[in-house]
Amino acid sequence: MGPIGEVSNTETQLTSILAEDGGFPNDRIFSTFLSRCNNAGSRIAFHEPDNGVSASFDQFMTDIIHQRHYLRKHFLPHLDENGILKEAFPICVHSTANYEFSIAAMGILALGGLVVPLPMDSSAAFVTNILRQAPIKLLLASQRYVLEATKIQHSASTESLPAITVLPIERLHDIPANLWTILDSRIHTEFSISESRPGITMFTSGSTGAPKGVIHSRAWFPRLSQAPADEAVLVHRPPSWLGGCLFLFTAIMTASRAEIVDPGASLRYTWERIRRDGITYINSGCGWWEQMVRFYKAELQSHPQKEEYLAGMRGVRSAFTGSSVAVPSLLQFLSGEFKLRLQMTYGTTEVGRILLGVPLNELKRSDTVTDSGIFSELIRTFTEMPRETTLAGYARKTFGW
């Protein structure tokens, strides 16, 4: 900042961007997000120490404004009079579920685009097939995945596939001191984006049928704001899966802190983060919990700082698992040593949320999914699901693939 009364270059730049791009859509995604973001302000939104990130909500908001601006320039001929994409064109993102991915996703949503988190092993043919009818074949890449993205770009050119544009995700722009004054008219009240419009794609593992990309509408995001706020959420799974993006966006929409751990991180590193960083919310598969317990028994149970590791794990208020039922010995150890009340969850990518949460130590033989009526609800949901809720079906309907 310069002397009192002097407008900084940072403020001038952001004011100019907002004057050119306009306010954010008047929908439940951005009205909820901006309200909570404003109240959170300087609180940390993303903690990702191995990537040099400890970003506040003010920082996040600033970076989203810049990201939307970059995207808008690339898609300018394809925007309507309100600055929204005429169709929910897919935009691919190559990144783990981290701060950069979050910037990219919110920037895409602000333009009415479809967020497509790429599986880590995506090929050029896979990417170009997704982007076949998009006017700009755009692939946003985090710093770590820029090289992989350029390899995909090169492969597309050598295989005579449609050209792909690769853009690095920019982050950590300077925050103006009067950010929320600049954003006073941050919601454009005269236009909104329909909640039925496609918002994000998640890829299935194939456990309920052939692997596919499932599209969820923009209505998926506001539902997450009903989750408890003020948590420190462990985010450690790829964003192309429900388990990766669900908890990342839960943190975003509730203005909680996302504690980012790379999916390939070692168990030792993950334990260190739990010891140091006050994580309160963990949802992971039974295999992950079993590995964490084995590592604790082998490496930490006799460690001089054992009590610190225990304190970190005992500070977890909400502990969940899914994908398979935990064995009794695991439950007993978690409840005895860690004082954790592990809850079983069941959800599917097609439904896009957790449908059943039961404390595992309270399950009785009669408490079956069928008895609860949820199984019949799942069957109804799957049989009535329109074809366009899959990525291929939506593309056929919208773009004529």
pLDDT digits (tens, 9 = 90+) for 117-144: 999 888 898 898 889 878 899 999 999 9
| Domain-embedded: residue 17 | no
Identify the pLDDT of residue 353. Answer: 57
Please, which pLDDT band fits residue 392 given cuts at 50, 70 and 90?
low
If asked whether residues 147 and 130 sit together in one domain, one would say yes
Identify the pLDDT of residue 132. Answer: 83
Identify the pLDDT of residue 393. Answer: 53
CATH code at position 200: 3.40.50.12780
Q: Domain tally for the chain? A: 2
Please, which pLDDT band fits residue 191 given cuts at 50, 70 and 90?
confident
The pLDDT of residue 389 is above 80: no
- The span from the CA of 138 to the CA of 25, in Å, is 22
The pLDDT of residue 376 is above 50: no
The average pLDDT across 18-42 equals 89
The pLDDT of residue 307 is above 60: yes
Identify the pLDDT of residue 192. Answer: 84
* 326 class by beta-carbon count within 10 Å (0-12 exposed, 13-18 middle, 19+ buried): buried
| Domain-embedded: residue 319 | yes
* 27 class by beta-carbon count within 10 Å (0-12 exposed, 13-18 middle, 19+ buried): buried
Q: Supply 276's token pair.
A: 């140091």
215, 389 Cβ separation under 8 angstroms:
yes
If asked whether residues 66 and 201 sit together in one domain, one would say yes
Please, which pLDDT band fits residue 325 given cuts at 50, 70 and 90?
confident
Identify the pLDDT of residue 280. Answer: 96
If asked whether residues 153 and 229 sit together in one domain, one would say no
If asked whether residues 232 and 216 sit together in one domain, one would say no
* 20 class by beta-carbon count within 10 Å (0-12 exposed, 13-18 middle, 19+ buried): exposed
Please, which pLDDT band fits residue 185 given cuts at 50, 70 and 90?
low
Identify the pLDDT of residue 276. Answer: 97
The pLDDT of residue 168 is above 90: yes
If asked whether residues 141 and 287 sit together in one domain, one would say no
If asked whether residues 71 and 156 sit together in one domain, one would say yes
The pLDDT of residue 262 is above 70: yes
The average pLDDT across 355-365 equals 39
Please, which pLDDT band fits residue 223 given cuts at 50, 70 and 90?
confident
| Domain-embedded: residue 1 | no
Please, which pLDDT band fits residue 248 given cuts at 50, 70 and 90?
very high
| Domain-embedded: residue 376 | yes
If asked whether residues 205 and 315 sit together in one domain, one would say no
| Domain-embedded: residue 350 | yes
If asked whether residues 218 and 291 sit together in one domain, one would say no
The DSSP symbol for 140 reads E
Q: Supply 97's token pair.
A: 């579920």
What percentage of the chain has pLDDT greater than the value 70?
A: 82
List all residues 6 or more positions away from 191 whose beta carbon is below 8 Å from its beta carbon.
25, 26, 82, 84
Q: Which of 11-15, 214-218, 348-352 has the lowest mean pLDDT?
A: 348-352
The average pLDDT across 296-322 equals 96
If asked whether residues 197 and 325 sit together in one domain, one would say no
Q: Which of 39-43, 93-97, 209-213, 321-325 has the lowest mean pLDDT?
A: 209-213
Max mean pLDDT range (176-180, 210-214, 220-224, 336-340): 336-340
| Domain-embedded: residue 346 | yes
Q: Which of 202-206, 259-263, 304-308 has the lowest mean pLDDT?
A: 202-206
Identify the pLDDT of residue 359. Answer: 40
| Domain-embedded: residue 15 | no
If asked whether residues 211 and 261 sit together in one domain, one would say no
The pLDDT of residue 395 is above 90: no
If asked whether residues 209 and 118 sit together in one domain, one would say yes
Please, which pLDDT band fits residue 390 given cuts at 50, 70 and 90?
low
The pLDDT of residue 360 is above 80: no
The average pLDDT across 310-323 equals 92
Q: Which of 334, 386, 390, 381 lies closest to 355, judged by CA?
A: 381
The pLDDT of residue 240 is above 70: yes
| Domain-embedded: residue 189 | yes
Identify the pLDDT of residue 170. Answer: 95
If asked whether residues 154 and 229 sit together in one domain, one would say no
**What is the domain range of residue 314?**
223-385
The average pLDDT across 286-313 equals 97
The pTM of the full predicted model, rounded to 2 decimals, is 0.87
Which conformational region is residue 229 in: left (phi greater than 0), alpha (psi within -120 to 50 degrees), or beta?
beta
Who has greater pLDDT, 395 or 101? 101
